[in-house]
Amino acid sequence: MPDLFLLVFLTMNAGLFDEHIGWSEERIELAEGAAVLRGFALPLAAELVTHIEAISAQSPFRHLMTPGGQRMSVAMTNCGGLGWTSGTGGYRYTTVDPLTGQPWPAMPPMFLDLAARAAAAAGFPGFVPDACLVNRYEPGSRLTMHQDRNERSDQQPIVSVSLGVPARFRFGGQGRDVPPKEVPLFHGDVVVWGGPSRMNYHGILPLKEASHPLTGNLRYNLTFRTAR
């Protein structure tokens, strides 16, 4: 029932705009230092998707292999000075896309601006990311519980933007034993993540079959980090 789903989805997102700041200030605290800013990126969402298409025309989406040899169900690419990649050598950041042999596509200025504004809104002023991981989920794609720990410093937050089909996000604690909270992430939502929960485990449950007018059955996620 994709049409009904879309209607429900659009209704849920209606009224999120504030005339002045483009954001309703609906905010969900996941833990100290981690918050969902509902609809924060909604005014820019269509432009973000256009940029993702341009980025992936230059550095295509690919299914990386984990260091353990498993093909990841989420397809990835990057923009910015550094890109997150994976292989038998482990997880690392590179300046060059190993697939093309060229530098990763430049980070569009509007990406930098959005990431900095979202971080500041969540209490982390002065955020200047040097890496933007672009994730593409198709129905069934998931991200198992993990920590983001390949960045040189844990003093900077992470800013994560959701686009397209909604997903169920799981947020746990510092150890794998903490039972996770579950929260839906919709088109235009931004998660900002830093301070005491920067190293908390988190993941995305398998994407459900659904349709979004801008992305079809796909979900995109932009994850901004300061890697160095």
State which of residues 117, 136, 170, 202 lies at the interface with ligand MD6 (CB under 6 A).
Answer: 202
Count of positions (residues) in the chain? 228
Coil, strand or helix at 40: coil
Run of H or E residues at 27: strand 27-31
Residue of closest CB approach to Fe ion: 148
Of ligand MD6, Fe ion, none, which one does residue 135 interact with (CB within 5 to 8 Å by kind)?
Answer: ligand MD6
State which of residues 35, 165, 191, 218 lies at the interface with ligand MD6 (CB under 6 A).
Answer: 191
Does 160 bind ligand MD6 (CB under 6 A)? Our answer is yes
Site for ligand MD6 in 114-143 (CB under 6 A): 135, 143
Contact 184, 39 (CB under 8 A): no
Tokens of 200: 């908390």
State which of residues 130, 148, 151, 189 lies at the interface with Fe ion (CB under 5 A).
Answer: 148
State which of residues 79, 204, 207, 227 lies at the interface with ligand MD6 (CB under 6 A).
Answer: 204
Does 59 bind ligand MD6 (CB under 6 A)? Our answer is no
Contact 137, 165 (CB under 8 A): yes
Contact 138, 217 (CB under 8 A): yes
Which of 148, 189 has the CB closer to Fe ion?
A: 148
Contact 170, 31 (CB under 8 A): no
Contact 134, 55 (CB under 8 A): yes
The count of other CB atoms within 10 Å of the CB of residue 55 is: 24
Question: Interface with Fe ion by CB under 5 A: which range of 25-33, 66-74, 84-92, 140-148?
Answer: 140-148
Q: Which residues bind Fe ion (CB under 5 A)?
A: 148
Q: Which residues bind ligand MD6 (CB under 6 A)?
A: 135, 143, 148, 158, 160, 191, 193, 202, 204, 221, 223
